[in-house]
Amino acid sequence: MKAWTFQYKNDVAKKGDAASWYTGWVDPDGKRRSKSFGPGDKGKSAAERHAVKIEDRIASGRYENKATKTWAAFRAEYDEQIIGAMTELRSAEAAKLALDTFGKKMKPGKMAAIKSQTVDKFIKLRMLDDGYGGRKLSKATINKELRYLRAALRVAHEWEYLPKVPRFKFFKLAEKLPTFIPPEDFAKLYQACGQAKLPGDVKNVSAENWWKGLLMLGYMTGWRIGQLLALKWADVDLGAGVAISRAADNKGKRDMAIDLHPVAVEHVRKLEGSKLALETYVFPWNHSQRPLWTQFYKLQEAAKVKPSTKDRYGFHDIRRAFATMNAAGMDLFTLQRLMQHKSIETTKL
């Protein structure tokens, strides 16, 4: 069964060299189909390559009508190939949660049926939902979900499950000054760790010591929460006072050993009981990411601390505290290396 390349005569008459090239073919069900590849020699070459690919798929019996791909089938494939390859657990869980929410709200059938109107309706429905503490879901949270949704839909388009990526608008948010946890609030948070309930399943380690160790190590290293949770006992030498963040676990994409402050070493020593119980990680967390954040928020409520420009602190505010506390005492390039920023401009912020 043949596939061919062509241009529409009316397009050529109106647009000349800007007219798109297409691949045309008849599928095994007898339906005539086409796909656009843009104008010029580049578009023509792409259309010709696609024609060869289509002919091969039809001849070998491997042809799949991707226009009938369902959301459920796409999700299974996307979760395995894209989300499963994400190195940061927090990002992977956030992506999965965002797509799960879209699926539950919109109940999409075929991928090809997802339009701009579909996403606009999803946005309106999310604006009616409650967020943390009974407040309406924030626009920032909706924007975050939309970023993960857009990324997924772009992949669907690349995989030819969507004829085009739906266009939709994000909320415009006022730019806020970056926040950090000042020493006085950090001290209150530290004292409130005795109120922690999770994790309650780490052998030989209390939830209080787990949280005190996590907060202290984060405050004194500037590591992201994902790096802290990914830290393995095999990468910690308490005798030498050294810990290694692996390339697979940090955004700098390189292994990096840092000297630990004696206070940080003291806190990590209190977690060695889990090592004796054959735990792999220094901070085992056998739950999803959401309870981690919820527990962190509850500690803030117990400590009665709150930033002046937003409802609550995030884990990144611990990282910014490290940068703020050390900015005056070291040059930017040293601070950039410790924080594992790819760009010095990020460190300046």
- The CA distance from 322 to 314, in Å, is 14
Report pLDDT for 349: 44
Instruction: Output the CA–CA distances (angstroms, integers) from residue 289 to 97, 135, 316, 341, in the order listed.
Output: 10, 20, 15, 24
- From 159-173, 289-303, 331-345, the region with the lowest mean pLDDT: 331-345
Exposure class string for 202-227: b at 16+ Cβ within 10 A, else e: beebbbebbbbbbbbbbbbbbbbbbb
Strands (E) across 165-237 are located at 236-237
- From 193-207, 211-225, 320-334, the region with the lowest mean pLDDT: 320-334
Peptide bond into 178 cis (omega under 30): no
CB proximity list for 189: less than 8 A, separation 6 or greater = 181, 215, 299, 300, 303, 305
Q: Answer for the pair 205, 273: CB distance below 8 angstroms, yes or no.
A: yes
Please give the residue that has the higher pLDDT: either 63 or 133: 63
- The CA distance from 135 to 294, in Å, is 15
How does DSSP assign 264-322, residue by residue?
Answer: HHHHHHTTHHHHHTT-SBSS---S-HHHHHHHHHHHHHHHT---SSSSS--HHHHHHHH
Q: Answer for the pair 271, 207: CB distance below 8 angstroms, yes or no.
A: no
* Per-chain mean pLDDT for the chain: 87
Instruction: Name the 3-class secondary structure at 327.
Output: helix
Section 263-279 average pLDDT: 91
- From 18-32, 170-184, 193-207, 243-257, the region with the lowest mean pLDDT: 243-257
> pLDDT by residue (tens digit) across 278-322?
899 999 999 888 899 999 999 999 999 999 888 899 998 998 877
- The CA distance from 323 to 339, in Å, is 8
Greatest distance between any 2 Cα atoms in the chain:
78
Angle (CA) 340 317 98, round 5°: 85
Angle (CA) 216 226 144, round 5°: 120
| pTM (2 d.p.) | 0.59
Neighbours of 249 (CB within 10 A): 23
Report pLDDT for 330: 39
Q: Answer for the pair 94, 144: CB distance below 8 angstroms, yes or no.
A: yes
- The CA distance from 303 to 297, in Å, is 10
Candidates 156, 120, 315; CA nearest to 229 is 315
DSSP H helix total and E strand total for the chain: 15, 6
Section 175-188 average pLDDT: 83
Instruction: Output the CA–CA distances (angstroms, integers) from residue 345 to 170, 179, 313, in the order listed.
Output: 25, 17, 23
How does DSSP assign 58-82, residue by residue?
Answer: HHHT----GGG-BHHHHHHHHHHHT
Confidence label for 254 from pLDDT (cuts 50, 70 and 90): confident
CB proximity list for 38: less than 8 A, separation 6 or greater = 20, 21, 46
Bridge partners (DSSP) listed for residue 34: 24
